[in-house]
Amino acid sequence: MKPFAYHRAQSLRDIPDGATIIAGGTNLLDLMKHEIATPNTLVDISHLDLNRIEPEADGLRIGALVRNSDLAADPVIRRDYPVLSRALLAGASGQLRNMATTGGNLMQRTRCPYFYDLRTQCNKRAPGTGCAAMGGVIRNHAIFGASPDCVATYPGDMAVALSALGAEVEIAGPDPRRVPVADFHLLPGNTPHVETRLRPGEIITAVILPAPVTGEQRYRKVRDRASFAFALVSVAAVITMVDGRITRAALACGGVAAKPWRDPECEAALVGREPSDALFEQAASLMLRSASSQEGNAFKIPLLRRTLIATLRDATGLEPAP
Ligand SMILES: Cc1cc2nc3c(=O)[nH]c(=O)nc-3n(C[C@H](O)[C@H](O)[C@H](O)COP(=O)(O)OP(=O)(O)OC[C@H]3O[C@@H](n4cnc5c(N)ncnc54)[C@H](O)[C@@H]3O)c2cc1C
């Protein structure tokens, strides 16, 4: 690890220009040990007053330093936003969730093995060097929104649930604003090193949840091991039904793109319809119409189809086909 200066921030204004923020450190310290991140100055924000969950309009304001374990266990989150609690509990391990923060979780970096291997080309780690994953070993890589410059995925679970819930990221800095979680992460294009809408000198201060939605919420994650593994694919679903028909559907998919993947046409196709296997097959086909894969990650296309259909059946109470 390269030497660095350490500063413990006393307030949001006490973050020097160009400094790298550390919150729980569960991702950043790994990146520093691998010398993928080599900050000159590390600013520890973990003592700032950003660790509360409080009412905000009809929803909730989750401070950027709220730990993943505290958020998952919060009684209001469990009651009104269970998809968020389930997504968090499907991530990492108990020890990691005790350290990991809401802001850090949103900002966690990809798990593409080439990003971690300094001997290989990676446009995300070293812009302009190329993408060793193209023509390399592809497995946990994107099936949506990839570019010739990058095929890496955003690996987190929490943001997938937040996207389906319509949450927003609160950003502090010279241009304070809120950005929908669904728009916060960026597709790679020809700038895969620019991963989010957060600009230099800005910090996430909170995530804002809208008023809870009536209906069913599910998070289904498929991974190599039953715990302590990132998603191969995941699906967050928030579904409202009235008189046997779907009146609102929000679906976000994880492990398949550089951002939680949503498809408005797929969601719209469900609205006004009665749940059925034919409908869910149609929705899955819509979702997957823009998917593309290479040999190593082709399995994700049928896997996402099955996971999406199973999640929809579960959320709408449709009995599995005999
Ligand atoms: C073995 C292992 C398994 C894991 N499995 C999963 C999993 O299955 N699912 C999953 O979702 N995650 C998983 N994770 C990732 C884990 O959830 C993240 O490491 C964690 O959420 C990051 O939060 P942190 O507070 O520790 O961030 P840090 O490591 O402190 O920071 C991460 C990044 O966020 C930036 N940052 C932190 N806070 C802010 C802020 N407020 N504003 C702006 N930038 C900020 C930092 O500068 C840094 O770039 C796993 C991690 C490990 C090590």
Task: Evaluate: CB of 260 within 6 angstroms of ligand 1.
Answer: no
Helix extents (H) in 100-256: 102-107, 113-116, 158-165, 181-184
What is the residue whose two structure tokens read 């400094």? 19
Cβ proximity of 40 and 3 under 8 Å: no
Task: Evaluate: CB of 267 within 6 angstroms of ligand 1.
Answer: no
For a mutational test of ligand 1's pocket, the pick from 8, 38, 96, 179, i.e. the residue with the most ligand atoms closer than 8 A to its C-beta, is: 96
C-alpha–C-alpha distance, residues 101 and 109, integer Å:
14
- Separation of 88 CA from ligand 1 center, angstroms? 12
Q: Kindly tell me if the per-residue pLDDT of 320 is higher than 70.
A: no
In this prediction, residue 322 carries a pLDDT of 63
What pLDDT band is residue 321 in, cutting at 50, 70 and 90? low
What pLDDT band is residue 228 in, cutting at 50, 70 and 90? confident
Q: Sketch out the chain's domains with CATH numbers.
A: 5-46 (3.30.43.10), 217-316 (3.30.390.50)
Residue with CA nearest ligand 1 atom 7: 91
Nearest to 236 by CA among 186, 297, 162: 162
- Which positions ≥6 away from 295 have C-beta within 8 Å? 138
Cβ proximity of 105 and 25 under 8 Å: no
Atom of ligand 1 nearest to the CA of 230: 8
| Mean pLDDT of all residues belonging to the chain | 97
What pLDDT band is residue 36 in, cutting at 50, 70 and 90? very high
- Write out pLDDT tens, residues 67-95: 999 999 999 999 999 999 999 999 999 99
User: How far, CA to CA in Å, does 191 sit from each of 23, 38, 177, 186?
Assistant: 26, 20, 23, 9
- Write out pLDDT tens, residues 109-159: 999 999 999 999 999 999 999 999 998 999 999 999 999 999 999 999 999
Cβ proximity of 236 and 221 under 8 Å: no
Percent of the chain with pLDDT over 70: 99
Mean pLDDT of 96-111: 98
Atom of ligand 1 nearest to the CA of 99: 26
- Write out pLDDT tens, residues 272-319: 999 999 999 999 999 999 999 999 999 999 999 999 999 999 999 997
Task: Evaluate: CB of 204 within 6 angstroms of ligand 1.
Answer: yes
Atom of ligand 1 nearest to the CA of 231: 8
Residue with CA nearest ligand 1 atom 44: 203
What pLDDT band is residue 191 in, cutting at 50, 70 and 90? very high
C-alpha–C-alpha distance, residues 9 and 73, integer Å:
28
DSSP 295: G
What is the residue whose two structure tokens read 């408005």? 264
- Write out pLDDT tens, residues 164-174: 999 999 999 99
